[in-house]
Amino acid sequence: MLTKPGSQPTALFLFAHQDDEFGVFQQILNEQQEGRMVLCAYLTDGGSPGVSPAVRNAESLRVLAALGVPEKNVIFAGEQLGIRDAALPENMPVAEKFLRRILGEYAVERIYVTAWEGGHHDHDALHAVTVRLSYALGRQAEVSQYSLYHGKNCPGPFFSVLRPLSENGMVDKQVISFKNRLRFLSYCLSYPSQRKTWIGLFPFVFMRYLFSPYQELQGVSIERLKCRPHGGDLYYEKRKFFTWSRMNQLVNGIEV
């Protein structure tokens, strides 16, 4: 059971799936160093054939604990709300209601959300919910987006990892120390249930840490939600997971 911390300044980290935290390892540390409580919420259950939500929850809890985030500050909202992995676009009103409640209960000063980048459709849906609600509440200045992966300028099934889209605006960069880069790479190997996914992701994360060792964040814009994240086919379109036409319909029909 999550214990409400009253008026303690809070940084809210929003994830679509267990392991999405790899995009903000450094920022989780930064927020704690600045005196804010870190609150993490996962908006899908993360389950898949052969892998239960409980297994994925445990993996992320171990990584977050290593970053100093206690289990009581982690909410597996997707499991509580019945939102399956890959089903967030169809459940955005439910996610929005949850997020509205959290913002009303906690002294949230900073919000971090997956980028609008056309990588995974759950990531884009979570971004849309967060941005639309933050604008409705006049809190958009508190929101930063972080890149995970996308397919811009990548042939076939290939993708770019931790590479913010220029379309999303100016990038705020903070150097990740060599010690922390090694530490974070070890965390990337801490999701055994997602071994197949990480065989593809890990080399790109390694190269990114080698040649661009930064925590990179961008602001958000509600106008961006009316546009494809980038030109060309989106990664989730290439993989036939989802379509931009359906995303556009669902995103721009959100009521907040």
Residue-by-residue pLDDT tens, the chain, 256 positions:
344 556 899 999 999 999 999 999 999 999 999 999 999 999 999 999 999 999 999 999 999 999 999 999 999 999 999 999 999 999 999 999 999 999 999 999 999 999 999 999 999 999 999 999 999 999 999 999 999 999 999 998 899 999 999 999 999 999 999 999 999 999 999 999 999 999 999 999 999 999 999 999 999 999 999 999 999 999 999 999 999 999 999 999 755 4
Give me the percent of the chain exceeding a pLDDT of 90: 94
Give the distance from CA 105 to its chain's centroid: 21
pLDDT tens per residue, range 23-46? 999 999 999 999 999 999 999 999
pLDDT tens per residue, range 132-165? 999 999 999 999 999 999 999 999 889 999 999 9
Sign of dihedral through CA atoms 23, 61, 75, 122? positive
For the chain, the structural domain boundaries read 9-251
Question: What whole-number distance in Å separates Cα of residue 111 and Cα of residue 133?
Answer: 12
190 CB-near residues (< 8 Å, 6+ apart): 59, 62, 63
pLDDT tens per residue, range 45-62? 999 999 999 999 999 999
Sign of dihedral through CA atoms 119, 123, 129, 131? negative
Range 9-251 has CATH code 3.40.50.10320: yes
Rounded to the nearest integer, the mean pLDDT of the chain is 95
User: What is the reported pTM?
Assistant: 0.96
